[in-house]
Amino acid sequence: LRKPATTKANHASQSENSYSTKLDKKAFKASVISHLHSTLGTDENKADNHAWFKATSAAIQELVLNRLRTTQKTHYMNDTRAVHYFSAEFLMGRLLSNNMHNFGLFETADAALKELGVDISDVLEEEPDMALGNGGLGRLAACFIDSLATMELPAIGYGIHYENGLFRQEIKKGAQIERPDSWRDYGNPWEICRPESTQEVPLYGYVETKYGSNGNIQKEWHPGSIVKGVPWDIPVVGYGGNTVNVLRLWQSQSSSHFNWDVFNAGGYVDAQRENIQAETISKVLYPNDETEAGKELRLIQQYFFSACSLKDIIRRYKRAHGDDWTRFSEQVVIQLNDTHPAIAIPELMRILVDRAELDWDTAWAISSKTFAYTNHTLLPEALERWPVRMLEKILPRHLEIIYEINHRFMQELEKKWPGDNVMKAKLSIIEESDEKMVRMGNLSVIGSFKVNGVAQIHSKLVKENLFPEFDQLYPNKLTNVTNGVTPRRWLKACNPLLSALITKKIGDQWPVNLTQLDKLSVFADDKTFQNQFMKVKQKNKEALAKEIKAITGIAVDTKAIFDVQIKRLHEYKRQHLNLLHIMALYKRLLKDPSYDMHSRVFIFGAKAAPGYTLAKTIIYAINKVADKINNDKRINNKIKVIFLPNYRVSLAEKMIPAADVSQQISTAGKEASGTGNMKLALNGAVTIGTLDGANIEIAEEVGAENIFIFGKTVDEVAAINKAGYKPYDYYYNNSEIKALLDWLDTDYFTPEQPGALSSLKRSMLEGGDPYLVLADFESYSKANEALDKAYKDKDRWAKMAILNTAKMGKFTSDRSVQEYVDRIWKLDTCKV
């Protein structure tokens, strides 16, 4: 059913003439005013900042939707192969500034609003973050869809339309409090509801065995309940504004016709109860990062969005290809962002075998050419396993299919390694523990044609430690694609001063060709450029200092080193190593007021999973130590400790441009990649970090003299653990370490709550210090001294900062996406 080529050509030439993304200031002003009047029903005199935000967004959205229509038509006409990025999380942040930048309209809008007496930054501040993700994994998905649109690749993001995103964090008396995040309370100007594309999702029930139309045995799932998935589309504007792709997020709703019987029978209340249950599915994002909750609702969320998305894909495919399944995997590639959507694999098999009545081998040949899987973690507690009993109850047919996949896989293993039952037990999708479990990682590897890790070291460990037998069995399946970040949001939009300076120096192509930043290298020793570069940093520090003052009431010295650690709070990320070192500096200053150090502001941003007690204690400890240090006159403002509450994308955009130092100090082997490390270095922060995740590749790019590497390597960590790590040795042999840990045990930092920080000490002694904080402390302390010394040499530091920006070309998400395209997705660009 492909359209004839001539139609395509006609269509393309028509659309080029009929529409332009360019608006001048006058037209933009008129559009904003018109939306103020007719979309918002207010006027220039009455409008508050929120109304201006809505009207400005509406003016931009008008352009966005035009481009969206043209994009969709073009993709349809060309019947393009597309990537479908399945992710339970998309951490989008704010969209207005980004969309204006990508349309090249930021300056126009700024000037237009100014003439209307409105400050654009006040308008931008009105937009709530779309915080539909926990951290790195969700933000990566957002960067990737930005790159896909920018590179004019046919792509669609599929996820969940959570009513509540990641909780809002408040700090009360030093402790984290979680509050709901209701990001859509006043409406969202970007999303479009598409009720016409609603899907139904079956759940629960039982499986019937019967004869199919071809006389073969067929299975039919009789669900016990059905929920509706209503899609909301968020346009994703590529830089340059040509391609506008879509992020399609599913909202759950009760399926009224299914409950009709209950309703008619007078079960009004029961029918309403069903409503509430169905709508619960997309109510809230699970706030756990790096731990698996194993909750029934979470499995339902995963199946809900995977099933809706697959049906959506199949509907679109059938529109072009009818019942001919032979071309499905040519047209459709599905990227599984971690194992969260892995249930899509048995779901596609169910559709092909039970509904389309294909034989198993044909169905498997299609399915296993459709999926690819990205692994984001090696932490055992983050690897998803579902109790067999839970699957049996919620998705009885899928459990059968998983058993069938596993059965055939076991036969394959028997051929390759006859009689090797140890191997079979290891690779089986079913874990035969006390409670039988389904291993979603194994299912994903078996059901995908490619599996990738997210940084070189991580992918190596995936091959060598996590899935070594799979690597033997399928020698070319496991691969690496190092993560990246979009330079449009993470430099151009968030750091306008630095962007302008760079553009002045090397032209304006760097946002789409980031390796051009390397042209800055020749100016690294140029005094004028050093001054300009550091002046920008200084201005950004002043802006952040203002923000810090407004949020916390604390004044910080902008001549101090701005040292930033921003990421989810987790023991493996070792915010407590940073904290111990801050306490060490404080102690050294108390002991010797002339202790030589450049003044330093340590800035943290981090949310802890609500049930992760020790992570919350670390937040509490940071705040309590901060209280003490910030108010201790004896140390003469040499150290300030700032914890900025409610760390989120929009706050990151303010912190990153102002950072001198980037803390990337995870235990080697634990941080799969990290992406904050890339954003900070891109903005001229110098990294102090371990040889972990993408830090290793950052070090390769910037060179050993422009990064402060410390700590045990992956191999050393393994050796220590093998030999039996003894944190007490460090405690007794290093008097500073002992004094610091003992300090935590006193009521010095928590006079009103003695012992409140003891559990932190215990975790590093009796608790076995699982992340080797004590083993790395001395090396970290030395690296910090070297950093301090380097900062005091202004020219040297400026050079380091410039080279960090200059050498970040590799870490654009455009490069990551291009690698996926070349090696996994095999997509062609489609010019709109």
Residues interacting with ligand F58, by CB under 6 A? 134-137, 140, 288-290, 376-377, 382, 454, 483, 671-675, 693
The angle subtended at Cα 569 by Cα 563 and Cα 572, nearest 5°, is 95
The angle subtended at Cα 349 by Cα 343 and Cα 353, nearest 5°, is 150
Which one, 137 or 787, has the nearer CB to ligand F58?
137
Q: What is the C-alpha separation between 62 and 124, in angstroms, rounded?
A: 18
In the residue annotation, 567 being an active-site residue is answered as yes
Which one, 126 or 290, has the nearer CB to ligand F58?
290
Taking only Cα atoms into account, the Rg of the chain, rounded to an integer number of angstroms, comes to 28
Q: What is the C-alpha separation between 160 and 146, in angstroms, rounded?
A: 18
In the residue annotation, 675 being an active-site residue is answered as yes
Q: Point out the catalytic residue in the list 489, 567, 807, 815.
A: 567
Closest distance to ligand F58 from the beta carbon of 182 (Å) = 21
Closest distance to ligand F58 from the beta carbon of 811 (Å) = 11
Which one, 298 or 799, has the nearer CB to ligand F58?
298
Give 212's DSSP letter.
-
Q: Point out the catalytic residue in the list 21, 486, 617, 675.
A: 675
Which one, 300 or 454, has the nearer CB to ligand F58?
454
In the residue annotation, 101 being an active-site residue is answered as no
Residues 86, 344: contact at Cβ < 8 Å?
yes
Residues 725, 580: contact at Cβ < 8 Å?
no
Q: Count other C-beta atoms under 10 Å from residue 505's C-beta.
A: 17
Closest distance to ligand F58 from the beta carbon of 648 (Å) = 14
Q: Point out the catalytic residue in the list 54, 101, 161, 376.
A: 376
Which one, 501 or 678, has the nearer CB to ligand F58?
678
Which one, 71 or 483, has the nearer CB to ligand F58?
483
Q: What is the C-alpha separation between 580 and 588, in angstroms, rounded?
A: 12
Residues 622, 511: contact at Cβ < 8 Å?
no
Token duo for residue 581: 């070192």
Q: What is the C-alpha separation between 284 and 165, in angstroms, rounded?
A: 6
Token duo for residue 249: 């997020």
Which one, 135 or 496, has the nearer CB to ligand F58?
135
Q: 373 φ, ψ to 5°?
A: -130, 135
Instruction: Give bridge partners of residue 664 from the DSSP assignment.
Output: 689
Token duo for residue 657: 């441009």
Closest distance to ligand F58 from the beta carbon of 219 (Å) = 32
Which one, 163 or 290, has the nearer CB to ligand F58?
290
Provide the 3-class DSSP secondary structure of residue 35: helix
Which one, 132 or 278, has the nearer CB to ligand F58?
132
In the residue annotation, 376 being an active-site residue is answered as yes
Closest distance to ligand F58 from the beta carbon of 373 (Å) = 13
Closest distance to ligand F58 from the beta carbon of 136 (Å) = 3
Closest distance to ligand F58 from the beta carbon of 375 (Å) = 9
The angle subtended at Cα 332 by Cα 442 and Cα 149, nearest 5°, is 105
Q: Point out the catalytic residue in the list 573, 574, 607, 640.
A: 573
Which one, 138 or 657, has the nearer CB to ligand F58?
138
Closest distance to ligand F58 from the beta carbon of 462 (Å) = 12
Which one, 339 or 406, has the nearer CB to ligand F58?
339
In the residue annotation, 377 being an active-site residue is answered as no
Closest distance to ligand F58 from the beta carbon of 460 (Å) = 14
Of 175, 287, 169, 290, which is closest to residue 622 (Cα–Cα)?
A: 175
Q: Which long-range contacts (CB under 8 A, 24 or more apart) does 700-703 make?
A: 701/807, 701/808, 701/809, 701/810, 701/811, 702/803, 702/804, 702/807, 703/803, 703/807
Closest distance to ligand F58 from the beta carbon of 378 (Å) = 10
Q: What is the C-alpha separation between 541 and 551, in angstroms, rounded?
A: 15
In the residue annotation, 393 being an active-site residue is answered as no
Q: Point out the catalytic residue in the list 450, 488, 489, 568.
A: 568
Q: What is the C-alpha separation between 611 and 625, in angstroms, rounded?
A: 23
Task: Select the residue whose beta carbon is closest to ligand F58 and give its number.
Answer: 136
Strands of the 708-709 sheet, one edge to the other: 639-643, 600-605, 561-566, 661-664, 686-689, 708-709
Of 730, 700, 728, 698, which is closest to residue 712 (Cα–Cα)?
A: 730
Q: What is the C-alpha separation between 162 and 437, in angstroms, rounded?
A: 28
Closest distance to ligand F58 from the beta carbon of 608 (Å) = 13
Residues whose CB falls within 8 Å of the CB of residue 668, separated by 6 or more in sequence, listed in order: 690, 691, 692, 711, 712, 713, 714, 716, 717
Token duo for residue 587: 């102690």
Question: Residue by residue, what is the 3-state secondary structure of 771-824?
Answer: CCHHHHHHHHHHHHHHHHHHHHCHHHHHHHHHHHHHCCHHHEHHHHHHHHHHHH
Q: Point out the catalytic residue in the list 679, 712, 761, 815.
A: 679
Q: Which residues are catalytic?
A: 376, 567-568, 573, 675, 679
